[in-house]
């Protein structure tokens, strides 16, 4: 019994001793674990700080890589009150300004009610071009020279004329003349005809002098025709002229070549045919008006340069334009020798004197591409210094992206220039 008790006591001691070893081992493990934990935490914070710094650096690098600049410019402008007398020539060598003549033919019709008619006999009328292929010498023809049409009918010239001779290159000389039918009636109305000069029949000239009608020959009539008072006729004529002028004016403006200008009130309308034909079975008539629209086509740059030299003090020859040039008031003064634009024979005009008035907005241009090149890679603080080299710029704003950028991009494609030119 006693022996067994002693053995149990020894076992208990051994167990306690082993327990103390285990406890010491556990304590040692806990201490090592804390040390390792401390050692591993410090590098983790460093890695995150380094990663954050890299991200910030990358963000700034990318923002500068994609940086942009926008320059908004207000050009120099000046308002000048014009009241200037100018002259232009059809021959550009005779004056600083030259003009070309725009001409468009048109016809306008309107059916009108009539209350009175009368018996009338009208002769057909038209225009012919006569040619001289016979000799270099000009040929004189009297008024009422008879022309034999290819339809077998006789027409006559309305004026005395001279047909020019054959040109040196063999081209026949030619002249235009109004013609009318030898007799009244609709049988002389015709589509375009060929002509021979009846008086040359049987001579060598007969085959060498010839003519062709310019368009149809119309207006021949016999019977009762509407009677219009002078007041009614004048009113209708003015109405159709206004409609036709507006149509032809729009057509002319649609065809203006770049760099040229037509002034609205520089145009004229030459009426060359007015007819009133009765409509069968009706108490009405077809009133028609044929006319040619004319306008003076001016070179916009030459006109602008002339105004700039006359109205800009100390003008240095800089490139300018007038934003409202088309709305300036154009007039042909009476002293220009053209007092009535409706009665001017525009096709014969060689020189014109005219007046331009109203307030002109003169705008200076500048070389935007040169400015863009000079801004490449420059510091933001140098912007105003560079801008000072452009006297044609009134003011300008520079916007950089990102907002913290302090220099202008070094690539042309990254610089945008907006110029507030008035239209």
- Phi-psi group of 281: left, alpha or beta (phi > 0 → left; psi -120 to 50 → alpha; rest → beta): left
pLDDT digits (tens, 9 = 90+) for 229-261: 788 888 899 999 999 999 999 999 999 998 999
**Burial (CB count within 10 angstroms: exposed 0-12, middle 13-18, buried 19+), residue 322:** buried
State the pTM of this model: 0.59
Strands (E), 18-169: 68-75, 77-89, 99-113, 117-132, 139-141, 146-149, 154-157, 161-163
Task: Answer whether residue 188 shows pLDDT above 70.
Answer: yes
pLDDT digits (tens, 9 = 90+) for 102-158: 999 999 999 888 777 788 888 999 999 999 999 999 999 999 999 999 999 999 999
What is the pLDDT averaged over residues 177-206? 95
Confirm if 49 and 330 have CB atoms less than 8 A apart: no
Residue 18: what pLDDT? 47
Task: Answer whether residue 174 shows pLDDT above 60.
Answer: yes
Task: Answer whether residue 15 shows pLDDT above 80.
Answer: no
Domain ranges of the chain: 17-62, 121-223
Between residues 24 and 376, which one has the greater pLDDT? Answer: 376
> Across the chain, what does the average pLDDT equal?
83
Question: Could you tell me the fold of the domain covering 121-223?
Answer: Elongation Factor Tu (Ef-tu); domain 3 (2.40.30)
Between residues 199 and 117, which one has the greater pLDDT? Answer: 199
DSSP string for residues in 313-382: TT-----EEETTGGGSEEE--GGGT---TTS--GGG--EEEEEEEEEEEEEE---HHHHHHHHTT-BGGG
Q: What CA–CA distance (Å, rounded) separates 261 from 265? A: 12
Percentage of the chain surpassing pLDDT 90? 52
**Burial (CB count within 10 angstroms: exposed 0-12, middle 13-18, buried 19+), residue 247:** middle
Q: Report DSSP state, residue 312.
A: S
Helix (H) or strand (E) holding 401: strand 393-401
């Amino acid at each position: 019994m006693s022996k067994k008790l002693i053995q149990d006591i020894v076992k208990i001691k051994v167990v306690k001793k082993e327990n103390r070893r285990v406890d010491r081992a556990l304590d040692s493990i806990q201490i090592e674990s804390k040390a390792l934990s401390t050692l591993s935490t410090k590098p983790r914070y460093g890695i995150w700080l380094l990663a954050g710094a890299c991200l910030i650096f990358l963000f700034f690098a990318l923002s500068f890589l994609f940086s942009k600049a926008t320059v908004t410019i207000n050009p120099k402008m000046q308002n000048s009150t014009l009241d200037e007398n100018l002259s232009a020539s059809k021959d550009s060598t005779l004056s600083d300004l030259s003009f070309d003549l725009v001409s468009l033919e048109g016809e306008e019709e309107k059916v009108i009610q009539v209350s009175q008619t009368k018996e009338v006999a009208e002769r057909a009328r038209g225009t012919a071009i006569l040619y001289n292929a016979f000799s270099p010498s000009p040929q004189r023809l009297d008024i009422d020279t008879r022309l034999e049409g290819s339809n077998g009918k006789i027409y006559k010239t309305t004026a005395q004329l001279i047909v020019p001779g054959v040109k040196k290159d063999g081209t026949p000389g030619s002249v235009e003349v109004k013609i009318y039918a030898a007799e009244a009636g609709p049988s002389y109305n015709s589509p375009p005809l060929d002509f021979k000069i009846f008086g040359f029949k049987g001579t060598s000239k007969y085959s060498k002098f010839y003519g062709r009608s310019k368009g149809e020959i119309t207006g021949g009539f016999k019977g009762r025709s509407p009677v219009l008072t002078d007041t009614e006729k004048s009113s209708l004529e003015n109405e159709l002229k206004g409609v036709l002028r507006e149509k032809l004016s729009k057509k002319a403006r649609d065809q203006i070549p770049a760099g040229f200008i037509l002034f609205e009130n520089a145009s004229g309308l030459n009426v060359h045919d007015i007819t009133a034909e009765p409509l069968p079975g009706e108490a009405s008539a077809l009133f028609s008006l044929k006319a040619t629209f004319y306008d003076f086509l001016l070179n916009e740059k030459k006109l602008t340069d002339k105004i700039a030299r006359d109205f800009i003090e100390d003008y240095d020859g800089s490139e300018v334009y007038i934003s409202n040039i088309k709305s300036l008031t154009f007039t042909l003064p009476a002293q220009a020798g053209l007092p009535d634009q409706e009665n001017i024979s525009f096709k014969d005009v060689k020189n014109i004197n005219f007046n331009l008035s109203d307030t002109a907005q003169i705008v200076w241009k500048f070389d935007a591409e040169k400015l863009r090149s000079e801004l490449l890679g420059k510091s933001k603080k140098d912007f105003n210094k560079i801008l000072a080299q452009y006297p044609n710029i009134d003011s300008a704003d520079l916007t950089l992206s990102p907002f913290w950028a302090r220099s202008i991009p070094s690539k042309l494609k990254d610089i945008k220039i907006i110029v507030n030119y008035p239209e």
